[in-house]
Amino acid sequence: MTTNLTINTPMPPPHWSLLQRRLLRELADGCRAFFDHYFDDRGYLLCVPRWGGDDGPDDAAENILNWTMLHALGADDDILDLYKLGWEGHLLQYTEAKTVEVPMARDGMYFKEFPVMFDWFHNAEGFSSFFLQGLSDPDDPDFQRRCRRFAGFYMDEDPIAKNYDPEHKLIRSMFNGSRGPLLRKATGLDWAGDPIEIEGRFRLGHGERNYDEMVAHFKDYNDVVGDHPINMAATILPLNAFMLGHEDKYRQWVIDYVDQWVERTEQNGGIIPTNVGLDNVVGSECDGRWYGGVYGWGFTVTVPQTGELAHRTYFHTRAIHGFGNAMILTGDQRYANSWRGVIDHVNSNAREIDGQLMYPDAYGDYFGEEDWYAFKPEPFTSGALEVYFWSMNPDHRDLLAGDPWIQYLEGDNPDFPEQALLSDFDKLRHNLEVMRADTATPDTRLSDDMNHINPAVTENLTRLMLGGLPTGRTGGPLHCRLRYFDPDQRRAGVPADVAALVEKMTADAVTVTLINTSQVSSRRVTVQGGAYAEHQFKSATINGQSIDIENDTFEVNIAPGCGATVEIATDRYANTPTFAFPWRR
Q: pLDDT digits over 178-187, tens only? A: 999 999 999 9
Helices 120-131 + 236-245 axis angle, to 10: 30
Q: What does the alpha-carbon distance between residue 558 and residue 515 come to, in Å, rounded to a whole number? A: 7
Angle (CA) 8-12-14 rounded to 5° is 120
Angle among Cα 553, 556, 557 to the nearest 5 degrees reads: 155
* Strand-pair partners of 506: 509
Cα 283 from Cα 370, distance rounded (Å): 14
Over residues 245-250, the mean pLDDT reads: 98
Closest CA to 117 of 171, 174, 157: 174
CB hemisphere CA count around 494 (13 angstroms): 24
Taking a C-beta distance cutoff of 8 angstroms, is the pair 47, 59 a contact?
A: no
Residue 456 domain-assigned (yes or no): no
pLDDT band at 582 (very low <50, low <70, confident <90, very high): very high
pLDDT of amino acid 11:
97
pLDDT confidence band for 207 (50 / 70 / 90): confident
Answer yes or no: is 109 within a domain: no
Q: Which residues, 6 or more positions from 287, have their beta carbon under 8 angstroms from its beta carbon?
A: none
Tens digits of residue pLDDT in 376-413: 999 999 999 999 999 999 999 999 999 999 999 999 99
Number of C-beta neighbours around residue 271 at 10 A: 20
In a domain, 348, yes or no: yes
Q: Is the residue at 358 inside a domain?
A: yes
Q: Each residue of 459-506: pLDDT tens digit? A: 999 999 999 999 999 999 999 999 999 999 999 999 999 999 999 999
Which H/E stretch holds residue 408? helix 404-409
Instruction: Give the domain extent around 298.
Output: 227-400
206 has pLDDT over 90: no
9: in domain: no
Relative to beta strand 553-558, strand 3-7 is parallel
Please indicate, yes or no, if residue 478 is contained in any of the structural domains.
no
Q: pLDDT tier at 238 (50, 70, 90 boundaries)?
A: very high
User: In whole angstroms, what is the distance from residue 110 CA to residue 103 CA?
Assistant: 13
Question: Is residue 324 one of the residues assigned to a domain?
Answer: yes
Q: Note whether 284 and 290 are within 8 A (CB).
A: no
Asked if residue 56 has pLDDT above 80, the reply is: yes
Instruction: Please state the domain count of the chain.
Output: 1
Per-residue pLDDT tens over the stretch 269-316: 999 999 999 999 999 999 999 999 999 999 999 999 899 999 999 999
Residue 277 falls inside a structural domain:
yes
